[in-house]
Amino acid sequence: MHFDPSGFPGDSLFWEMLRVYWYSFTPAVKLVLCGYLLVVIYMFVKGDKKERTFYGVSLLVLIVACLNPKICRYLVDEWGFFARYFRFFWLVPVSMGYTHLAMKMYNKYEKKGRILLWVGVVVLFILSCRELVVMTGFSDLYAGGVYNTGMIPVPNIYKVEDDVIGVCNIVEASSGDASVVKKTLYSREFFIEVRTYDPALIPVVDYGYFSDFDFNTCISENNWFGIMTIFYTGKTEGVDASQMTSDLLKNAMANVDCEYVVLPKTNPYYDIWISSFECLGEAGRYTVLKVR
């Protein structure tokens, strides 16, 4: 859904969106959505005036009013609805349409037919619950800070990783004032949960997205932010290992606005970091350092 719209002028944006949406659907979703078209056709042909207009005509109006390339372009350009456009598809009453059709069948049939319908709905319900479980525990789509490896209960009532809570406790204990913001260096993975759990830990790097820096250029231009990034991301390619010293790191951090570092233990320069700054403690996969 979040692709770059600039490469899709005019009507092509709408079709590209549909293509992206379609490829993000699971087979069950594709089946149900295609089936809904049959529900609408059935309601249109066999339904009474109320059903025809509620399911059939309203869908046509929606298509004319917003679900078409021209209006899509207008809504994206004029109203800034690019990332929100898919929500217009939510206005189609899919679950209600299926339920209505099932009820029509239920009312139409006598005892045996109704028993069959009950069996059908029970089977469908079990299948749908299976879909729910699969999506929750076994799909990357819904992974949290830790990738999905099965039906794992949330680690705590805050629903963030224990490591995140541990790190925040260490930083807050060191700072002594939870209401004061602390410039903290952390990764993208950590960013997502810490910004909601403890917003006092504000990121040194926006969104935890680190740019790629060339080591030699950083050294020659005294690009301290770049040097810090190389140390933190653990970049080794194109890096002269002999120059990666504690002094260089201290120099870099002295020139960057940063108070704490949440360092993954897997960092290749872990020892240099540890020897350069005060270690406040460890929390799971991370070590917390105090820079100043």
Partner 1 sequence: MSQLLLAVLCFICYLLIYYLVGVATSKILKLDNNLLHELVYGMFVYGILFFVYVLPLKFKLVPVSTIGVIWALFISILCLLIIILLRKYIKESLRRFLKGIRKWKLCVIPVALFTIGFILFILIFARLPFGNNQVWFLGWPANGVLHNELMTYDTSSGVALERFPNERYLSTFLDHSAVVCKLTGLHVMVEVRTVLSAVFTLMQVIIVWELAKYFGKGDQKKSLFAFFMYWSVRNLLVGSQLLPNYFSVFRNYEGKGMVMIVPLPLLFLLLWKMYDRPEDTGYMWKAGITLWGAMTYSLSMMFSAPFVLLAFTPYVLVKKDKRLIRNLVVMFFVSGIFVVVYYLGRKGIIDLTIHR
> Toward partner 1, which CB reaches closer, 153 or 242?
153
Least CB distance to partner 1 at residue 199 (A): 4
Between the alpha carbon of residue 277 and those of residues 9, 101, 200, 286, the distances in Å are 52, 67, 21, 15
The phi, psi pair for 264, rounded to 5°, reads -65, 140
Shortest distance, position 116 Cβ to partner 1, whole Å: 12
Burial per residue of 165-180, b for 16 or more beta-carbon CB atoms within 10 angstroms, e otherwise: bbbbebbbeebeeeee
Q: How far is the CB of 243 from partner 1 (least distance, A)?
A: 31
| Closer by beta carbon to partner 1, 248 or else 259 | 259
Q: Minimum CB separation from partner 1 for residue 180, in Å? A: 9
161 vs 230, beta carbon nearer partner 1:
161
Q: Which residue, 38 or 57, is less far from partner 1 as judged by CB? A: 57
- Measured from the CB atom, is 90 or 220 closer to partner 1? 90
CB of 147 to partner 1, least distance (A): 8
Residues 6+ apart with CB under 8 A from 122: none
Backbone angles phi, psi at 281, to 5 degrees: 155, 175
The distance of closest approach from Cβ of residue 237 to partner 1 in the complex, given in angstroms and rounded to an integer, is: 26
| Strands (DSSP E) found in 123-170 | none
| Nearer to partner 1 among residue 7 and residue 80 (C-beta) | 80
Inter-residue contact 201 to 194 (CB < 8 Å): yes
Q: How far apart are CA 110 and CA 106, in angstroms?
A: 8
91's enclosing H/E stretch is none
Q: Which residue has the tokens 């270690």?
A: 279
